[in-house]
Amino acid sequence: MKKNIVIVMLLVSFGAISQSKASKKELKKNRPTYIDIAIGKEYSRFVDFATSPLIYSGAQNYISISYNKYDKKKEKEYGFSYSFGDYISDFNEHESISTVKTLSLYYSQLYQLNKFSTKKLNIKIGGLFDATGNFRINESLENNGVGLEIIPTLFGSIKASKYFISRHGKDKELSFRLNIGLINSTFRNGYVYSGQSFLLNKPILESVFDDYQFKVFSGFRMSSALSYTMPLKNKNKIQFSYLWGAYKTGGNFDTFEMANHSIKFTLSFNLNNH
Amino acid sequence: MKIFKITLLAIIFLLTSCEEVIWDKGIETSNPKDNLDYLWKECNEKYSYFELKNIDWDAIKAEYSAKVYDGMTEDSLFTVLGEMLTELKDDHTNLISNFNISRFGTHHLGQDNFDWRIIVDNYLPRDFYISGPFSHSFIANNEIGYVRFPSFTGEIDKKNIDFILEKYKNTKGLIIDLRENGGGQVTDIFKLLSRFVEHETLLYYSRIKNGPSHNDFSEASPAYVEPYDGIRYKNKVAVLIDRGTYSAGSFTALATKALSNVVLIGDTTGGGLGLPNGGQLPNGWTYRFSITQALTLDKSPEYENGVPPDIRVAFDWNNLKTDEIIERALLELQ
């Protein structure tokens, strides 16, 4: 566990110290800043062994909004994504539908690795914190029909970007980013999934997370993003991305597992004309 | 762009492979033995009343495993699994498919003690009131209020219960008829009982399974009700129960044991004091069974087998003009 923390700190600090302090202020001032607005489609599947051994899958709609400040030396991004849709299990002529809404809040910082970066290829490393919450409703599961879990993860990240010169002399960018969960945690139902608060006349808010347990250093999570970014004449950008993510909870209780494949289109609006 | 496409395909392939490594495989199967084993194990680790009901679940597995075989029909498998669950003698335990639902039927444990037509024909005026889930009227020369509450639909609200209690506030007593009330929304229990207490009252305890052994439970947690800040009924109340009074109905009966102004009349309830869960088998059928225990004020789970009345009265089906349980309640309240 401690080893994971050390790796994250090393990744972040190693990148950070590679920049000279003198140039930092200037770079920061001139670093392009964007608001990214993205829409997309997602194909996902999950299995929640606490209530069913069957795999639920389906297509969802995806949106995200983020604040993004980046150049070749450093990038910082924070924002949220939201996806929603129905997941279906159809086996043995029995169909069940789980309606899922997923909200992710994230913050990321990456620093250039000078040693491995060239004019055409840029390598960055750093970290990403992502807290993902799923709200699921599946009426066929009776009193276990509502599922709610939060998966906060601190990732170690590496991003490789390849630049191509466009006709307008602007850099097009093909990048691949890989995030590996170093501190995986889950906030999830207890042993029998349901809680008993409403039998005890407890307030509704107390019932929502009844018998929930928070586990740190538990489970596994990975994600990645393959993106193709094209600058526009007005300093805005458009981007096409393929995102992939997968996780499974850990601990002694029945696991929850989910995997997503998303195609995303992003409009990046430049805020500081750099 | 060619490089981009090749890279994209390679990465999708790589990550999909990663996904298979990370994930446990789902276990979709119609195999009869796999489904019996799965259902048996879920119950074995999470069902809450093995000890109270003295059920030898291992012996039951041996008995029912011998009844499943490859190639048996869905209907036959359903019968075997449904009968296995029925051994738990619990109407919060069901197997559910798109062609059948298994059940135990606690109301068959005692005689039928309720006929709404007899009450309507012999006790209520034609124009009795219907307020939300309650049917009600004055009876016994307007001295008693009779309130029929057939199901905990979650519809009890301030207006309908205020109306009823205001209407019958000057009666000698109130009858709340919970016979054949199969339960529903537990939140209704507290909305109802908060109108019959004058101070915060401990009603019962509940504990939930927290481990795989049959006796792994959380600490017993208390359930309190506070007096409603508004119209309350302070005279005597008779709650009528029978074997069809189940789940939230039984919880209400259990809770009234803590209320000095309430008397339970009729037959023992059907029980159903365990909160049912919900889940799915590898073949897509769903199930539910009890995962909590409600405990009396001396922390006994025994009322799962039925909450006994304070005054036991049975219906006489040779006389279809009289409801003996209502008659006994009138005697008690006047």
CATH 1.10.3720.10 fits A33-273, yes or no: no
Candidates A92, A179, A228, partner chain B, best to mutate (most B CBs within 10 A): A92
pLDDT at B106: 87
Please report the domains of chain B, with CATH numbers, ordered by start residue: 8-15+108-333 (3.90.226.10)
pLDDT at B56: 98
pLDDT at B3: 64
pLDDT at A65: 98
Q: Complex ipTM, two decimals?
A: 0.89
Which residues on B lie below 8 Å from A259 (Cβ)? 19, 22-23
Surface of B (125-184) touching A: CB under 8 A: none
* B173-199 confidence digits (pLDDT tens): 999 999 999 999 999 999 999 999 999
A-B C-beta contacts closer than 8 Å? 145
Mean pLDDT of chain A: 89
Interface touch A142/B291, C-beta < 8 Å: no
* A217-265 confidence digits (pLDDT tens): 999 999 999 999 999 988 899 999 999 999 999 877 789 999 999 999 9
Chain B closest CA to A18's CA: distance in Å?
Answer: 30
Strand partners, A111: A74, A125
Q: Least CB-CB distance to A259: which of B19, B186, B210?
A: B19
Residue extents of the structural domains in chain A: 1-30, 33-273
Candidates B9, B23, B29, B225, partner chain A, best to mutate (most A CBs within 10 A): B23
Q: Least CB-CB distance to B286: which of A140, A247, A257?
A: A140
pLDDT at A254: 86
- What is the pTM assigned to this prediction? 0.90
